[in-house]
Amino acid sequence: MNLTPGNNDFSEAIENDRTHVWHHLSQHKRYETSDPMVVIEGKGMRVWDARGREFLDAVSGGVWTVNVGYGRETIADAVREQLVRLNYFANTAGNVPGAQFAGKLIGKMPGLSRVYLSNSGSEANEKAYKIVRQIAHNKYGGKKHKILYRERDYHGTTITALSSTGQIQRKGQYGPFTPGFVEVPHCLEYRSQYGDCADYGEKAARAIEDVILREGPDTVGAIVLEPITAGGGVITPPEGYWPTVQEICRKYDILLHIDEVVCGVGRTGKWFGYQHYDIQPDIVTMAKGVASGYAAISCTVTTEDVFNEFKSDPADPMSYFRDISTFGGCAAGPAAALENMRIIEDENLLENTTAMGGYLLDRLHMLKERHELIGDVRGKGLFCGVELVKDRASKEPVDESTAQAIVADCMSNGVIIGATNRSFDVYNNTLCLSPALICTKDDLDAIVDAIDNALARVSA
């Protein structure tokens, strides 16, 4: 079938979609009276749907994934070449793209040394939790099994990944949860819990130490944190936060696990988000941007010290990591990921991300001067959030319907943006922008202009 937008009749696909496909994160009632969107093609920053509509995509595939943009033929070529040579063998053995990718990736992550491959961000995080738990069993007699996570952070969709997620609206209906996960407070300065103070970041980090002391440091094995909270409201960390978190982890012998599923592989202008903050994690997980959605691949990366815990006693059958991910052996993943990294390097996309991210943030700050609805603008690289409030003094968040109306207005004008949902107990009505790392000033102008117009229409 020739998928030229507008030239085909996709009514059968639309009807099959409406009748048989269960969409993610979607209330299907509305498809009784309207068509579901069926996306048929993408090129660069743009996608087309089955009705021939063209969209400028400001969220890289809806969920900050397609970092190098759509329609990359060299990634498709690399994947095809690998598939006909060797599509699969379990990762109990190595394969050539897997080995090459691991070497290249570790070259971007000083202090880390081992890459464990799986398929999704949730799975990568589950591997990390299993690593922490096994170390607790083998080294600490079952103690140090608790894992801290932060209010408003998200770590995935499986029950245990949800157990470590600080967003009640995404987990509330799926309990009971895996025991041993303990929440620490968020660090969003705009919604300061510690008053107006110069050392807000330090105070927010010390709140983690309070939890550790309450739980007992000898029971806590790790803390998992997003470098910049994504779905919980694009929360950039306050000054001084990360060095204090690192210091606390070292003080109590707690592994620092950074979830780079969103920030990883260029999104913030460095290879990894944590690299802005001069810290050294013990475990890093990543997924979405690793192969920009051209293949399913995720990674759990550890230091050699963590890895060495799993070969301490070769005579003990319980000492090695007794874990496997069948599709972690799909060779298409690392083949796509290698080419994805080459593109980022050869096209100077980290530099473009820093430059364009700065431009986007400036334009959003200018937008804030024109629209009372904007309470706060935050971001790093091509990863920005615009928090909407009814009133700047009280900071009362707008109703969810307002953010959704802005998203819908942009969409009807050909620009796809995102928005976090307002939680029951967390204010996070935030517009999200994460365009591909290839974007230009013209693309960003079109995105910001669409939001500008939408804000004007919706507030009127």
Of the two residues 212 and 297, which places its CB atom closer to ligand PMP in the complex? 297
Tell me the closest approach of the beta carbon of residue 440 to ligand PMP, in angstroms. 26
Of the two residues 59 and 205, which places its CB atom closer to ligand PMP in the complex? 59
Q: How many Cβ atoms are within 10 Å of 1's Cβ, its own excluded?
A: 7
428 and 233 Cβ atoms separated by less than 8 Å? yes
148 and 403 Cβ atoms separated by less than 8 Å? no
The one-letter code for the residue type at 215 is E
Tell me the closest approach of the beta carbon of residue 441 to ligand PMP, in angstroms. 27
Tell me the closest approach of the beta carbon of residue 65 to ligand PMP, in angstroms. 9
Tell me the closest approach of the beta carbon of residue 165 to ligand PMP, in angstroms. 9
With 0-12 CB in 10 A as exposed, 13-18 as middle and 19+ as buried, what is 189? buried
Measured CA to CA, the distance from residue 219 to residue 235 in angstroms comes to 28
Binding site residues, ligand PMP, CB under 6 A: 63, 120-122, 125, 154-157, 226, 230-231, 259, 261-262, 287
Of the two residues 89 and 174, which places its CB atom closer to ligand PMP in the complex? 174
Tell me the closest approach of the beta carbon of residue 284 to ligand PMP, in angstroms. 12
Of the two residues 121 and 379, which places its CB atom closer to ligand PMP in the complex? 121
Measured CA to CA, the distance from residue 145 to residue 126 in angstroms comes to 14
**Long-range contact set of residues 8-16: C-beta below 8 Å, sequence gap at least 24:** 8/40, 8/50, 10/38, 10/40, 10/50, 10/51, 13/38, 13/50, 14/38, 14/50
Tell me the residue nearest to ligand PMP as measured from the CB: 121
Of the two residues 5 and 266, which places its CB atom closer to ligand PMP in the complex? 266
- Helix axis angle for 73-85 and 332-346, nearest 10°, is 150
Of the two residues 120 and 275, which places its CB atom closer to ligand PMP in the complex? 120
Tell me the closest approach of the beta carbon of residue 434 to ligand PMP, in angstroms. 11
* Alpha-helical runs (H) found in 330-440: 332-346, 349-370, 400-412
